[in-house]
Structure 1
């Protein structure tokens, strides 16, 4: 395994996670449910990367690669939900009012999440945070794969 590539992939996930927390705590942008889902694999990739570097075991690099791929796919799916290409989870996207009674509508409004997954709170060059996570994390996945292939 290539130590430099492992370090870059691990540091990349750490930077992505720090960026997410920065947007949340410094930029005052509360994450939606799908944003939180994207954070967990980055944490797993960081731990896997540190273990791969310390123990020199390929299994940890494989776990790191799978974690990066997972967060990439979640990010791309989330970006698709934001753009209206996919339907998001009912628990964090807008739902139809339909033939709801006043009480049912009130309960739906009161149980609605504070941050919706189908709205874009920030973008750069027309790509949302979820989209950037998907693209950058796929690049990190590539680094993990290269690290596994090179000695």
Structure 2
């Protein structure tokens, strides 16, 4: 592995995590709608990216103890993300059953039966067990697991280097 300083390690984690969530938004923009599990996997990035930014700032100017704690926090966040990515990829591959409620958006309350039927026609259901896109054989959930594992490894390395 590269010989990175704690500052560069923290910056690499931040860039990798930010690029991953930005990539998810870009895929969504181009029509690859996320399922319920996909949206839940994003929470690790919504929390992890700011923590990685704090770790970068701490590695640059802060005390070593704070930097070590922030690296540890990033590692814990992305261990959870990795496990969730593995779970979702397993649902997509049919290894295990996904949540029964993972069937997409529910139509809004209808005023009458015709209104309800029109809502059903226009509601797009995004299933958690259907892969929207595979890249090099992995779904986006699979890639989330891989990227999260890399971030965990970098976090552990950063903790040891501080």
Instruction: Give the TM-score of the pair, scaled to structure 1.
Output: 0.82
Displacement after TM superposition at 1:73 (Å): 1.1
Q: What does 1:1-150 correspond to in 2, within 5 Å?
A: 2-25=6-29, 27-55=30-58, 56=62, 57=66, 58-92=68-102, 114-150=125-161
Alpha carbons 1:83, 1:118 under 8 Å: kept:
yes
Q: Number of residues paired by the alignment? A: 135
Alpha carbons 1:14, 1:43 under 8 Å: kept:
no
Q: Deviations 1:41-60 (Å, cap 9, x if unpaired)?
A: 01211111111222331222
Task: Return 5+ residue gaps in structure 2 as ranges.
Answer: 105-119
Structure 2 Cα separation of the partners of residues 147 and 113 of structure 1: 43
Structure 1 Cα separation of the partners of residues 133 and 153 of structure 2: 26
Kindly report the root-mean-square deviation, in angstroms, between the aligned alpha carbons of the 2 structures.
2.1
Displacement after TM superposition at 1:70 (Å): 1.3
Structure 2 Cα separation of the partners of residues 138 and 93 of structure 1: 28
Structure 2 Cα separation of the partners of residues 125 and 47 of structure 1: 29
Structure 2 Cα separation of the partners of residues 67 and 43 of structure 1: 10
Structure 2 Cα separation of the partners of residues 5 and 125 of structure 1: 26
Task: Return 5+ residue gaps in structure 1 as ranges.
Answer: 95-109
